[in-house]
Structures are given as C-alpha cells and as structure tokens.
Amino acid sequence: MWIHFELFARISLIAWIFAVSLFIFRKSALHIIAEILSLIGIVSLLYFTISLWISLDRPPLRTLGETRLWYSLFLSVIGYALYKRWKYRVFFVYALAMALLFLGINYAKPDIHNKALMPALQSIWFIPHVIVYILGYAFLGFATVLGITGLLHMKKKQETSKTLAEAENLVYIGYGFITFGLLFGALWAKEAWGHYWTWDPKETWALLTWGVYLVWIHMNYTKPYSHKFYFVFLILAFIILLLAWFGVNYLPAAQNSVHVYS
Amino acid sequence: MNQPRAYFSKPWGYIESISIVLGILLVSIGFEIVSEIPTPILAFPYNLFSLIILFGGSLLIHFFSRSNKTIAWFSSIPASVGAIILFLTLTLIMACVPQQNESHSYQFITNVTSSWAYYCATAYLLLVLGAVTIRRLGSFNRVNLSFFLNHAGLWITIATASLGAGDVAKYRMTLSKDTTEWRAINSQNTIQEFDFALHLYAFEKEEYPAKIACVNPHTGTIYTHNNTLAIFEADSINSFVYNDYTISVQKHLPSSLFFAHEYHPINEYGATQSYYVNITHMPTQTDTSGWISVASIIQPAHYLTINDSTTLAVLSPEAKRYASHVKVYKKNGDMYTAVIEVNKPITIDGFKLYQTGYDETKGRWSDISILEIVHDPWLPFVYFGIFLFLAGTGMIIWFGKKR
C-alpha cells in the first residue's frame, strides 16, 4: 500500500503548500481557496490512511512512518477546526506547516515507514499524546510572542489591553491542550505500566510547566497587577516550558526517564 | 496599585498567601527533621477517613465563610495560587533532585512524595480546591459548568489517586505450561497465595509475516537499495527487484519444519516461517531456487546465496499478539476458561490480570507466560475524576477566555 503513498502524499503536499502560501495574503477570497485546498489535502491523506488500514488489516499504528501519517492528518484536521472556531489564520498555517513537515519526512525517507515501534509505544494514546503537546506548545509559544509584543507596545506607550486579551485566549487554549497531554499520558501509563503517574522527570517538568500556566491563569482572573507583570510572567513561563521540552534530557534527575528520546 | 497596607491586615492578598504556605512548608519540614517519624502509608480504611476529613474541611470552610472573612479567604484566588505554588515548589525539588524510593533523612529533598511536606501540601491543595469548588456550586450556566468540571475533576483525580495509592497491590505470576498456579510474588518479593488458581493450557503467539532482506554474509548487515534498506515485505508483494536480480516468492509457510530437503507445513513444537523463492539474474537469465527461513529453537535458519557478497535471509518475525489460554479455578468450585492478552486484561475477584511477557528465547514456542496482577480498588473513581477533568478541558479549548 505504501507504494501508492507517493501519489496521495503529492496531492496533499501540493495542496497544502498552496494553501499555506495563499493564507499569507490578507485577501479573504484567497482564504476561501486556501481552505478548499487544505480540505483537498486532508481528504487525500484521509483516503490513503483508511486504505492503508484496510490493506494492513490492522490500525496503522505500529511504525514511525505510520505515526507520522497520523500526526499530519490530525494536525491538519485540528488546525482546520480551530481555524473555523477562532479564525487564527497563523495557527492554521502553523498546523499545516507541521503536517507538511511530517508528511515530507515520510515522502523523503520512505524506509522509516517500516521501523517498528517498541511495544510500549504501540498504544492508541501515543498519537493523541504527542499531537496535543505539539498544539499546546504552539499556542503557548504564540502567547509568549504576544507577551513580547505587549512589552514593546508598553515601551512605546501604546495601549496593550487587546494584546493581553488575545494572549489570555491563547494561554487558555494552550493550557487546555497541555492538560490533555498530561491526562492522556496518565491514561496511557496506566494501561502500559499499571501506574498513572510515576514522577518520571519529564512528567515532573511537564507538571511544573502546567502548574506555572495554571498560576498565570488564576492571577490573571481579576488582573490585580499591571499588564507588564502578565507579559513578563508569560515569557518566564515559556522558559520553563522550553526546559521541560529540551532541557530534561540533560538533567541528572533524568537518567532513567522513559521520555528521553534524543 | 492599591495603597500599601499592613502585613496580614484585611483583606488578605498574595503576600499573606505566600506566607501561609511558607509556614506550612517550614513546619512540616521541621516536624520531619525533629520527630523523624515517617509518613504513614494510608491504606483502607484510613485513606477513606482522610478523604472524608478533607472533604469535610472544605465544607466547613464553605459554611463558616459567610460569617468569617478570614475563613472565606481560603476559597479565594490568592489562597488557590498559594496552594498551587506550595505544590509546585515540591514538584520543582523532584524535578531537580534524583528521587530515591527508600526512606531517608531529609525526605523532602530525596524522597519528596513520602515527606510530611508533600502530605501537607497535598492536603492544603485539596482543602482549598474543595472549598473553591463548593463555593461556585449554585447557579448553573456554561461558565460555571466549565469551572465545576475542571475544579471537581482535579479534586477527585488528586484525592483518589493519592489516597488510593495505599491500596494498590501488584504481583507477578509466572505460569508454566500444563501446570496450575495460585501463587504470585509481590513487590517486597514475598509469596502471596490467591483464592483462585490458573492452569495454562496453551500459550499463543501470532507473528507478522517475516520480512526478507538482502544481507552481507560476512558482516550480517543489511544492504541498502534505492536509498532504503533492502528489506522486502513478502506478504504484500510477490516479487521484487534488487540490483540485477528479480526475486519472486513462490511459497510462504507461516508454520513449517525442514526435513527431506525441504520445508513442510507443520504446526508442531519448533515450527518456523519459511519461504520458497526464485532468484533470476536478469542479464544472463539464470535462475536459482531454494528455501529461506528463520531459525527456530530446534532448527537452524536457511539462507540463499545471490552472489559472493549477497545472501537472501529472513528476518525474525515481529509479534502481532500473544495470549495465554487459561482455566480459572475458584475456591467455590467454579471453573471456566479465559484468554489473557496484551491490552486485554481479565478480572477475577477484583484483581486485574495483565499479560506481560513470555520466554523470548523460545518465541512462539514459549512454555511459560508471565502475568502482572493488580488490585486497584480506587481506579474507577480516579477515572471518573479524569473524565470530568477532560470534559472541562475540552470546554476550555472550545470557549477560550470568552466571558
């Protein structure tokens, strides 16, 4: 079945590349075309995934190539849903770009289609767990960009209420996704090892990140402090997030982590 | 900003909140160091009592909030933030210091989850979170529903998962083929006898069709072909091209034994996967045919030579599923058969039995099967909490910060 991959992947790749390019323009007529192209790409990949499933006679969840297929599919679908819901164009472009990246890896390096996953990773939780983190980190990353923008606006003595309100919404959505990530991870761990929580260093850092954003959300609820406080806090929170994401592998506490995958 | 006000004068804010949690932290650490009393592992019924006390505490905060401003403060945002920060402080210690499982002096650094500080932080978090949740019960609308799902979901998840941990029991049972077993080893390496017994009458392992590879016979490494490894899935294609050669699969025997110069389809002890293949050297149109197979526990592998530097080999098949077929005997005389499979545990008298392993050196002819037995009576409540929390999270993503 993978021999047909090139055709479907090519359709999705081309459709999405055009969609992303059209989304860069501000004209709304172009956005409608971009939306249609995105949907064509999604349908093409969905059709391929379903046929692959039927031909393999098992859910395509066992190899790295197969997981990438799902990343592409879900990122484009969720990106589209969030675009319809929130009209965050930049987000849809990001989701499509990530979907393109995963599809591109499969397209350029087909041999890793067949690299079998270790048994613990052969779980229905694997893909949702990774996808919600990709999305959550992206939303929080964009919120941080708004935090920096807000600080620059303040320097120029410009109004920042709108920037803060937008950042709040992004933090809420991003926080929602990383909560999903934590909970999916817990459910998966229970199934695989019989514990929902083992204080694995990555888990601990992910909890810390989650908690810092939780504090931000609570302190932001009645806004007793200046906008500057919230913007600076967002940047510091993102530094913890980055530590959780990249830094954990180098910590002495992480020597036996199940999450070390560099 | 507000006028500067005196420390601990009303209304309390973040400074007071941080002072309170700092107090809790220092007192609990001090108690641990001075008293050297280890924290108790709360098993039934003491964990249930603790749960009731914590919930009752939240209720009391709620009821006395009407008459007392100080008590009302404990269900405020600054109190919540303080409780979260206290918990995160301990999380930060765990995030930076490698944790050990044995009890130790200075547990709050090296074994945080067994320290008094952790117990106190969890209790304080649950008290505040409980009071906050109760306070917002009342008028029903979308915002309150989202609030309730997130806060109650978190409360139930943390309370039942941490208090329920004392009742979780884990055992490892090794079943041998055609024997009956009722004992298992727990995490302290002591033997536990159960009120049921298992008789393993069959161990089953299904394999994916083995893949065929072109390998270097001297080093055993797999060659690359068109920028990918020269591995071919013989189940989906009948023939493939490798450099100047066309290799076509004539027969695939998923279960076979070698005798009288060829493989025969036999499903007996030690049977293995084999392929009969034909190799055509295209420039000269010369053919070679023969058997290739995976090594089994009783017979060596078969290879076919393509040329001096290339051999055709079959790779070890990957497991598709494995399962134990058992007879279950109970003390009351009940007897029934069951299949225990990876990701499909069975339940006997409240114990969950997971398939975890087998004798990997023997592969599908393993005559032992390893099970994990888990007793986790609080699990349904934890899942209930997680379920509420997931629903609340879905609402956050969908509604964002819209008021």
> Is the CB of residue A180 less than 8 Å away from at least one CB of chain B?
yes
Lowest mean pLDDT among A56-60, B264-268, B275-279: A56-60
Residue B346: in which H helix or E strand, if any?
Answer: strand B346-348
CB of B341 within 8 Å of a chain A CB? The answer is no
Q: Give me the pLDDT at residue A111, please.
A: 53
Given CA atoms A24, A26, A30, A33 in this order, what sign does their dihedral have? positive
Helix B77-96 / helix A201-221 crossing angle, nearest 10 deg: 160
The residue of A57, A135, A207, A209 whose CB has the most chain B CBs within 10 angstroms, and thus the best one to mutate to test that interface, is: A207
A54, with CB counted inside 10 A (0-12, 13-18, 19+), is exposed
Q: What is the pLDDT of residues B239-253, one digit of tens each?
A: 888 889 999 999 999
Residues A189-232 have pLDDT tens digits of 887 667 788 888 888 999 999 999 999 999 999 888 899 999 99
| pLDDT exceeds cutoff 80 at A250 | no
Q: Assess whether the previous peptide bond of B45 is cis (omega < 30° from 0).
A: yes
Between the alpha carbon of residue B374 and those of residues B41, B90, B176, the distances in Å are 18, 29, 20
Report, in this order, helix, strand and coil percent for chain B, each rounded to 5. Answer: 35, 35, 30
Q: Is the pLDDT of residue B135 over 80?
A: yes
| Cα separations in angstroms, B216 against B84, B182, B223, B292 | 60, 49, 7, 15
A122 min Cα distance to partner chain B (Å): 10
Helix (H, G, I), strand (E, B) or coil at B210: coil
Q: What is the pLDDT of residue A215?
A: 97
Q: How many CB atoms lie within 10 A of CB B323?
A: 18
Chain B partners of A58 at a C-beta cutoff of 8 Å? 320
Residues B16-27 as b or e (16 or more Cβ within 10 Å = b):
bbeebbeebbee
User: Any long-range contacts for A53-62 (C-beta under 8 Å, 24+ apart)?
Assistant: A55/A1, A55/B236, A56/A1, A58/B320, A59/A124, A61/A117, A61/A122, A61/A124, A61/A126, A61/A127, A62/A116, A62/A117, A62/A122
Among A139, A132, A127, CA closest to A213: A139
Residues found in chain B? 403
B113 touches chain A (CB under 8 A): yes
Q: What is the mean pLDDT of residues B64-92?
A: 94
- The rounded radius of gyration (Å) of the Cα atoms in chain B is 32
Find which of A54, A82, A172, A184 to mutate to test the B interface (most B CBs within 10 Å of its CB): A172
Nearest-10 crossing angle of helices B14-35, B116-136: 150
Reply yes or no on whether the pLDDT at B370 is more than 90. Answer: yes
pLDDT tens-digit readout, B299-353: 899 999 998 899 999 988 877 778 899 999 999 899 999 998 877 788 899 898 9
Torsion angle of the four alpha carbons B242, B247, B248, B249, in this order, in degrees rounded to the nearest 10 = -100
Contact A231, A144 (CB under 8 A): no
Q: pLDDT tens, A227-249? A: 999 999 999 999 999 888 777 76
Residue A113 scores a pLDDT above 60: no
Residue B110: the pLDDT is 86
Asked if residue B291 has pLDDT above 80, the reply is yes
Distances in Å between the Cα of A227 and the Cα atoms of A80, A141, A222, B401 are: 31, 18, 12, 17
Residue A144 has pLDDT above 60, yes or no: yes
The whole-chain average pLDDT of chain B stands at 89
The residue among B177 and B345 whose pLDDT is bigger is B177
The pLDDT > 90 percentage for chain B reads: 58
Q: Is the pLDDT of residue A116 over 70?
A: no
Q: Which positions 226-265 of B are in contact with A (Cβ < 8 Å)?
A: 227-229, 231, 233, 236
Neighbours of B240 (CB within 10 A): 17
Give ∠ CA B115-B121-B127 in degrees, rounded to 5. Answer: 140
Per DSSP, helices labelled H in chain A are: 5-24, 28-56, 64-86, 89-108, 126-155, 161-193, 201-221, 227-246
pLDDT at A262 over 50: no
pLDDT band per the 50, 70, 90 thresholds, residue B1: very low
Among the partner-chain residues A179, A196, A211, the one whose CB lies closest to the CB of B393 is A179
- Does the structure show a pLDDT above 80 at B103? no
Question: What is the C-alpha to C-alpha distance for residues A135 and A150, in angstroms, rounded to an integer?
Answer: 22
Residue at token pair 């041998």: B176
- pLDDT over 60 (residue A118): no
Which residues does B163 contact at the CB level (< 8 Å), separation at least 6?
B42, B47, B48, B50, B51, B378
Q: Which pLDDT band holds residue A52 (cuts at 50, 70, 90)?
A: confident
Beta carbons of A253 and B81 less than 8 Å apart: no
| H/E element, B172 | strand B169-176
pLDDT at A212: 97
Cβ–Cβ contact B394 with A under 8 A = yes
Are B339 and B325 spatial neighbours (Cβ–Cβ below 8 Å)? yes
Rounded CA-CA distance B114/B162 in Å is: 11
B18 at the A interface (CB within 8 A)?
A: no
Mean pLDDT, to the nearest integer, of B363-380?
Answer: 90
Q: Provide, as residue numbers in chain A, all residues whose Cβ is less than 8 Å from the Cβ of B357.
A: none
The CA distances from residue A6 to A111, A215, B70, B200, in Å, are 13, 47, 67, 47
Residue B311 CB contacts under 8 Å (≥ 6 apart), including other chains? B214, B215, B216, B217, B303, B304, B305
The answer, yes or no, to whether residue B183 has pLDDT greater than 90, is yes
Query: Mean pLDDT, to the nearest integer, of A114-129?
Result: 69
Which residues, including other chains, have CB under 8 Å from residue B132's CB and lie 6 or more apart? B75, B80, B151
Measured CA to CA, the distance from residue B62 to residue B65 in angstroms comes to 5
Residue to substitute from A64, A123, A173, interface B, most B β-carbons within 10 A: A173
For residue B227, pLDDT over 80 is answered with no
Kindly determine whether residue A208 and residue B236, on different chains, have CB atoms separated by under 8 Å. no
- pLDDT in the model for residue A93: 92
Taking residues B217-236, report their average pLDDT: 80
* Chain A contact set for B319 (CB, 8 A): 119
Q: Tell me what the pLDDT averaged over chain A comes to.
A: 85
Residue A260 has pLDDT above 70, yes or no: no
Residues 258-317, chain B: which have Cβ within 8 Å of A? Answer: none
Q: What φ, ψ does residue B86 adopt, rounded to 5°?
A: -60, -45
d(CA A215, CA A220): 8
Residue with tokens 């019960």: B137
Terminal-to-terminal C-alpha distance of chain A: 30
Letter for the amino acid at A33? I
Handedness of CA A210, B129, A193, A59 (dihedral sign): negative
